[in-house]
Amino acid sequence: MCDGKKERNITLLKKIDRDMGKKKGVKYFVVDAFTDSAFKGNPAAVCFLNDDNERDDTWLQSLAAEFNISETCFLIPITGFQARFSLRWFTPLAEVDLCGHATLASAHCLFSNGLVDSDMVEFVTRSGILTAKRVSDSSKLNDGEVKGGTFLIELNFPVVTTCDVNLTDVSSSMITKALNGATIVDIKATATNNILVVLPSKESVTELQPRMDDILKCPCDGIIVTAAGSTGSAYDFYSRYFAPKFGVDEDPVCGSAHCALAHYWSLKMNKCDFLAYQASSRSGTIRIHLDKEKQRVLLRGKAVTVMEGHVLV
């Protein structure tokens, strides 16, 4: 009787597989970026489009809202190039100009599934041509823990400059209120319309409980908070990023924010290489090199695929 039930179950599963095969639509992966552990880092949905399954912008945005994670991105192969793709990024509410973790997730999908023969891929984006390179990893990612036999992905991104900001008394009080009265050491504006706020310590960053309704009222797209690592810390600096205007109250690990953080901390610490920690509840680690001459930021991190499937509509 048990054998008969098992056979019926196998038959049912085969029928489901056949039926699903007939309905296959847009292939997608969900990837956790800037981490080597599932359910950590920053999740991104990576969707593959081509000439046979083109979709309009309304559909792209609707799917991003359906996934309802910090970023959903869309990859389209560019004819005539084996390792060049068009790449677009969407939060649940809007398309954005630059996203690090979804770019890393896209490269991870291409490399780990053998979809490109090269160790370098190019992405044509709203921020120009961005590259992702597969590199071996034999160094330390966390204190005392060596991660070998896997690969890192290195993103080549533009520097996001920071500058002094002239805040009115009203704007200043709005930011202080949004950060729940936190002590502010320094404050800058970024070229991507974020406010970068420096807090006194790692604990000030990790324990911060911002007020999202008040962040929505601030004259910026989002707020990056950061602090230098303490003596003996494995990390040069810590950060968190809040962007409720894009439907993301807290971005778990934000690559583009680190393009601004690299610029800021390079000026403060007089160095170009950093190990950074984003102190969200999911957390993530980014290795950073700032190329001052070329005005580029190299972001290195890992990724883990946690889900794959097809969008059937």
pLDDT in tens, 71-91: 999 999 998 888 999 999 999
Instruction: State the average pLDDT over residues 277-293.
Output: 98
Encode burial over 43-73: b for 16+ CB neighbours within 10 A, e otherwise: bbbbbbbeeeeebeeeebbebbeebebbbbb
Residue holding tokens 């038959």?
11
- Tokens at 1, concatenated: 């009787």
How far apart (Å, rounded) are the C-alpha atoms in residues 13 and 26? 22
How far apart (Å, rounded) are the C-alpha atoms in residues 95 and 88? 8
Q: Delimit the CATH 3.10.310.10 region(s) of the chain.
A: 3-158+302-311, 162-294
Q: For 148-199, how does the pLDDT look when each residue is reduced to its tens digit (9 = 90+)?
A: 347 999 999 999 999 999 888 778 999 999 999 999 999 999 999 999 999 9
**pLDDT at 2 (0 to 100):** 55
* Amino acid at position 13, single letter: L
- Tokens at 291, concatenated: 């190329």
Q: Can 71 be counted among the known catalytic residues?
A: yes
- Tokens at 309, concatenated: 């499937």
Residue 20: pLDDT band (50, 70, 90) is: very low
Measured in whole angstroms, how far is the alpha carbon of residue 216 from the centre of its chain?
A: 21
**pLDDT at 7 (0 to 100):** 67
Above 70 in pLDDT, residue 10? Answer: no
Q: For 289-301, how does the pLDDT look when each residue is reduced to its tens digit (9 = 90+)?
A: 999 999 999 999 9
How many C-beta neighbours within 10 Å does residue 86 have? Answer: 13
Above 50 in pLDDT, residue 1? Answer: no
Above 70 in pLDDT, residue 147? Answer: no
Catalytic residue among 7, 54, 66, 71: 71
How far apart (Å, rounded) are the C-alpha atoms in residues 49 and 90? 15
The residues facing 88 across adjacent strands are 74
How far apart (Å, rounded) are the C-alpha atoms in residues 46 and 204? 34
Above 90 in pLDDT, residue 271? Answer: yes
Residue holding tokens 């961005």?
130
Terminal CA-CA length for the chain:
39
Above 60 in pLDDT, residue 283? Answer: yes
Hey, what CATH topology would domain 162-294 get? Diaminopimelate Epimerase; Chain A, domain 1 (3.10.310)
* More confident site: 46 or 52: 46
Residue 52: pLDDT band (50, 70, 90) is: confident
How far apart (Å, rounded) are the C-alpha atoms in residues 183 and 227? 11
Instruction: State the average pLDDT over residues 46-68.
Output: 94
265, 286 in Cβ contact below 8 A? no
186-190: long-range pairs with CB below 8 Å, 24+: 188/162, 188/163, 188/164, 188/264, 189/162, 189/163, 189/164, 189/165, 189/220, 190/160, 190/161, 190/162, 190/224, 190/260
In degrees rounded to 5, what are phi and psi of residue 120?
-135, 135
Residue 43: pLDDT band (50, 70, 90) is: very high
Domain 3-158+302-311 sits in CATH at 3.10.310.10
- What's the chain's average pLDDT? 91
How far apart (Å, rounded) are the C-alpha atoms in residues 91 and 61? 8
Q: Please provide the DSSP assignment of 112-176 as one string.
A: HTT--SSSEEEEEETTEEEEEEEEEE-SEEETTEE--SEEEEEEEEE---EEE----HHHHHHHH
**pLDDT at 53 (0 to 100):** 83
